[in-house]
Amino acid sequence: MERKYPNLSKPIQIGNVYFRNRMFGAPMGGTDITADCTIGPKTTAFYELRAKGGVANVTVSELVVHPKTEASHMYHLDLQTVNSLASFTYTADAIRRHGAIASVELSHSGQYAGTYLVDKDKKEGMAQWGPSAGLRPDGREVKELTKELIQEIVEAYGEKAALAKKAGFEMVMIHGGHGWLINQFLSPFFNKRTDEYGGPLENRVRFAIEVLESVRKAVGPGFPIEFRMSGSELFEGGYTLEDGVEIAKLIEDKIDLLHVSAGTYQKGFGVTHPSMFLEHGPNVYLVAEIKKHVKVPVATIGALNDPEKMEEIIASGKADIVEMARALLADPELPRKVMTNNDHLIVKCMRCFTCMAERAVTGTRRCTVNPMIGRESDGLEIIPAANKKKVLVVGAGPGGLQAAYTAARRGHDVVLCDSNDEVGGILIGEKAIPFKYSMYELGVSLGRLAKEAGVDIRLNTTVDKAYAQNENADVIIVAAGSKALVPPIPGLDGANVIQATAYHHNQDQVKDSVIVLGGGLSGTELAVHLANEGKAVKLVEMGSELAPDANIRHRPLLLDEVNKKGVEVFTDHKGLQVNDNGIVCLDKEGNEVVLEGRTVICALGQVARRDIVDELIDEAPIVKTVGDCAKVATITTAIYQGHHAALDI
């Protein structure tokens, strides 16, 4: 067949191992870690799902090589702990049986041990070790590694690599980027040693070289060793791209694949894991430059999910391989869809950080757009229903679209109705905000999937009691969403006021000075967008904090954007009245404050469309409610509820 993306689809040999295409599964931590730090069954299923989707390799993350100096509760591998070796063996087998190459990331967090602990107080009792003594930004003491401990760690890398090979892994990745221990040795910011491991670059690379030599001795020739590095640390005091080139040249004869990422985790989470505020593929320039100076294959990573962009990266010679992590959570079948010319059905990652926030808060995984993530062991197959039923889904927002798609895949006769002229519901408005455009695309993609599955999609169609009675469905799933909350503030119905949910219809009417009334997630993101357009923006919030409803990974990055873009913030200000010139507010001292702005955008939240639920509640034997019409929540909740409502039919 003629492949639409021939370069992405082309196999590649690395060492003595053949990989079926150029799309690699980058490391992303699993979902369950036992008390003994072995891989639980949920994690095995988590990685297996990606292998089934057609990716060339799947890298398990993170195997801590030296628990003595890195006491984080992540995966350990040894012969003493019951089930340790077995858990890795089962996981490697689960990956390999679907044609993907199983790899494991060998890691040491150094002075950032304990980063992923849910119980942050436990870090107080942990010893953090690094190349040099000092204090972490949070005030924790960092102890300098002795030469004896350095050699123990070097040997541990080899020991763990040998055990990984014994367990059936056919590749290992050495994590030398993002501020972890090897990066700490490479970095002049972290490494202040005066012995042979510090000072000039050749000395700072010594630890990495010794680690790589230890691993090679353990796994033998031809066994692929991948080295992940930051092409540049991207902050003052860290190493530059020019330094990154020299590092790559010094280690290339020790490795089979050079994986170029960017940044230092603790100096910029949204850089090491590119946020929605950055372009897609922001690290490509780093790998493109480094590739000019080395002979080994190179891989790039960072917010890559568009096949056209990834194809161009390889076709133009910027990199040999593209690696994805979050993109394969959003759609594990992305590689297969690329290989079979079905890229129009890809569900793209929105870079919302739900996956990583959930990991930090509960120690689990969840993906906004993929209800299977973290729950793979509950069953991946959509089982056809024993009895085919007629299902009426009311509302084509994310919850309704997912419900319709899942119900159709089960073999039901599904009708999906929405009063809008396109699918997506509340996501439609996101097409007006460039950094949230992927959210709009989610609605489009789910609509395509539903249509391909046989859903009868009826737009510009309002479902009332009479319409539902005429359809005579066996099951109604109400996913009617929410509507804007408009409190009785005088002037809020004025000609200069725009509802946030209607911004995309009225964006040309927004003047140069804007007041966003409501500093929740939606209002704060809209304020950043307006500031990006060069408008003078005031953000007014009656509470004491902005965006308290944002997840813990996205919120700091969002607040940073507010500061960088010059948005004027007025917390503890309650709106009293809107007039032609702006808003009269009450501050926390009880004083009236007048804020001037030619346009006012109301972003005061949403309320559930319970009226539609109440009207339809008796119009079928079974009526289910999902998403915002049940309770205003998140896209994640809506999709998860929609999927399971359909599974229950």
> From 3.40.630.30, 3.40.50.2300, 3.40.50.720, 3.40.640.10, which CATH number describes the 382-483+607-647 domain?
3.40.50.720
pLDDT value at residue 464: 97
- The residue to which tokens 């919120």 are assigned: 555
pLDDT value at residue 267: 75
- Whether the pLDDT of residue 52 is over 80: the answer is yes
SS3 labels along 536-566: EEEEECCCCCCCCCCCCCHHHHHHHHHHHCC
Q: With CA atoms as reference, report the closest residue to 373 among 36, 29, 105.
A: 29
DSSP sequence for 373-438: TT-GGG--S-PPPSS--EEEEE--SHHHHHHHHHHHHTT-EEEEE-SSSSS-GGGGGGGGSGGGHH
- Comma-separated ranges of CATH 3.40.50.720 domains in the chain: 382-483+607-647
Where residue 76 falls among pLDDT bands split at 50, 70, 90? very high
- Whether the pLDDT of residue 116 is over 90: the answer is no
pLDDT value at residue 123: 55
- The CATH superfamily label for domain 6-377 reads Aldolase class I (3.20.20.70)
127 contacts 69 by C-beta, under 8 angstroms: yes
- Whether the pLDDT of residue 51 is over 70: the answer is yes
User: Considering the chain, what percentage of its residues have pLDDT values greater than 90?
Assistant: 89
- Whether the pLDDT of residue 496 is over 80: the answer is yes
pLDDT value at residue 333: 97
Mean pLDDT of 277-282: 95
- Comma-separated ranges of CATH 3.20.20.70 domains in the chain: 6-377
Pick 143 or 136 by higher pLDDT: 143
Where residue 22 falls among pLDDT bands split at 50, 70, 90? very high
- Whether the pLDDT of residue 101 is over 70: the answer is yes
Q: State the chain's mean pLDDT as an integer.
A: 95
- Whether the pLDDT of residue 124 is over 80: the answer is no
Mean pLDDT of 377-387: 86
Q: Give dist(CA 472, CA 512) in Å, integer.
A: 51
pLDDT value at residue 115: 61
Q: Report pLDDT digits (tens) over 433-490.
A: 999 999 999 999 999 999 999 999 999 999 999 999 999 999 999 999 999 999 999 9
Question: What is the CATH number assigned to the segment(s) 497-604?
Answer: 3.50.50.60
| CA distances (Å), origin 284, targets 138, 175, 281, 294, 401 | 32, 19, 6, 16, 34
Pick 361 or 627 by higher pLDDT: 627
- Comma-separated ranges of CATH 3.50.50.60 domains in the chain: 497-604
